[in-house]
Amino acid sequence: MKWQKRLMSLVLAGCMAVSLLATTAMATDVATDDEKSTTTACPIDAHKWDDGKITVKPTATTTGLKVYTCKICGETKVLRLPKQPIQPVNKIFADVPANSWYIGFVQYVYSYGLMDGTGATTFSPNSPLTRAMVAQILYAQAYKPQTSGASLFSDVADADAWYYDAIVWAGENQVVAGYPDGTFKPMQSVTREELAMILYAREGKPKIIGGWSLKAFADADDVQSWAKDAVIWAYQNGIVNGSLENGKLYLDPQGNATRAEAATMLTKYLALKDWAD
Ligand SMILES: [Zn+2]
């Protein structure tokens, strides 16, 4: 597929979605850690999930939620339901052609409420992803939990800004770090290695399995040392594939991630996590 030639695409593995749920507004719908500890939990992957119950019905503009309960131990998991009825994004966004390499990924992130348009009829797939956008995406993925409402950053002060809640949350939960001078720089572009680092951090920075390196890529040495484990992890999990040029694979770690690339990475990342229904 075309997207495999470009970018870091995403992959996913993991259990972040489950751990996130415990800290979200949905917590009232799921068993708390205390409740879980009173039952005998199944071994990992041994749960027998029921058919699930829809607790929040999706609409054409909002996503829904479905709760599954383990028939053995009573543990629950919550999955997101896409907006319904599903509207093709090429009919909504004039700048998302039906034959583009990224349309399926934009469809996914839009349907699941992770990314909205940059305007009523624009998605801006080729625009750079900003730090504010990253915060907003991860905040949506975490089901937009309540925050203290107080920004930790000197340059995030307008409570009416579309990204305000997301950045307050990101700061409080150390999802996206600020800068030593106390700023967040919401409009700054995010590079591909930075995006890999943010996702790697969300996964709890798992240990890199031995034997993996970036030597398949012609520009492996361009990856900065702080990002190396993150990029290897992303490559290992299929999140980063590199782009093929003249027979060589490139990571372009310092290149700006575009919104279409972010949609692609996110789609793969969350699909691996069993995050959506
Ligand atoms: Zn179970």
Cα 66 to ligand 1 centre (Å): 17
CA separation for the pair 265, 252 (Å, rounded):
15
30 CA distance to ligand 1 centroid (A)?
13
Of the chain, the end-to-end C-alpha distance in Å amounts to 24
Rounded distance from Cα 31 to ligand 1 centre (Å): 12
Say how many Å lie between the CA of residue 72 and the centre of ligand 1.
Answer: 5
Q: pLDDT digit string (tens) for 137-152? A: 999 999 899 999 999 9
Q: Please count the other Cβ atoms lying within 10 Å of the Cβ belonging to residue 205.
A: 12
- How far, in Å, is the centroid of ligand 1 from the Cα of 78? 14
Does residue 43 contact residue 21 with C-beta atoms inside 8 Å?
A: no
Rounded distance, CA 210 to CA 7, Å? 24
Count of beta carbons in the 10 Å neighbourhood of residue 229: 18
d(CA 191, CA 146): 29
State in Å: Cα 75 to ligand 1 middle: 6
Instruction: Give the span between the Cα atoms of 229 and 205, in whole angstroms.
Output: 8
Distance 174 CA to ligand 1 centre (A): 31
For 250-268, the pLDDT digits (tens) are: 999 999 999 999 998 888 8
Average pLDDT, integer, range 69-87: 93
How many angstroms separate the alpha carbon of residue 69 from the centre of ligand 1? 8
pLDDT of 25 > 80? The answer is no
CA distances, 224 to each of 117, 177, 197 (Å): 32, 17, 11
Do residues 49 and 71 touch, judged by C-beta distance below 8 A?
A: yes
| Strand order through the sheet with 64-69 | 53-56, 64-69, 76-81
Predicted confidence band at 39 (pLDDT cuts at 50, 70, 90)?
A: low
d(CA 127, CA 37): 47
Strand partners, 53: 67
Per domain, the residue ranges of the chain are 130-188, 205-257
**Range with lowest mean pLDDT among 75-84, 190-199, 264-273:** 264-273
Q: Tell me what pLDDT residue 32 has.
A: 46
Provide the H-helix boundaries in 115-191.
Answer: 131-141, 164-172
| pLDDT, tens only, 40-53 | 789 878 999 999 99
> What is the predicted pLDDT for the residue at 38?
53
For helices 192-202 and 228-236, give the axis angle rounded to 10 degrees.
80
Average pLDDT, the chain: 85
CA of 52 to the centre of ligand 1 (A): 14
Cα 49 to ligand 1 centroid, rounded to whole Å? 7
- The yes-or-no verdict on residue 130 having pLDDT over 80 is yes
> Which residues have a Cβ under 8 Å from the Cβ of 62 and sit 6 or more positions away?
83, 113
CA dihedral 140, 143, 144, 146 (to 10 degrees): -170
**How many Å lie between the centroid of ligand 1 and the Cα of residue 42?**
4
Q: What is the DSSP string of 209-265?
A: PTT--STTBTTGGGS-GGGHHHHHHHHHTTS---EEETTEEE--TTSBPBHHHHHHH
- What are the backbone angles phi and psi of residue 274, rounded to the nearest 5°? 60, 40
Cα separation, 85 vs 266, in Å, equals 22
Do 241 and 87 touch, CB atoms closer than 8 A?
Answer: no
Percentage of the residues of the chain whose pLDDT score is greater than 90: 67
* Ligand 1 centroid distance, CA of 45 (Å): 8
How far does the centroid of ligand 1 lie from the alpha carbon of residue 40, in Å? 8
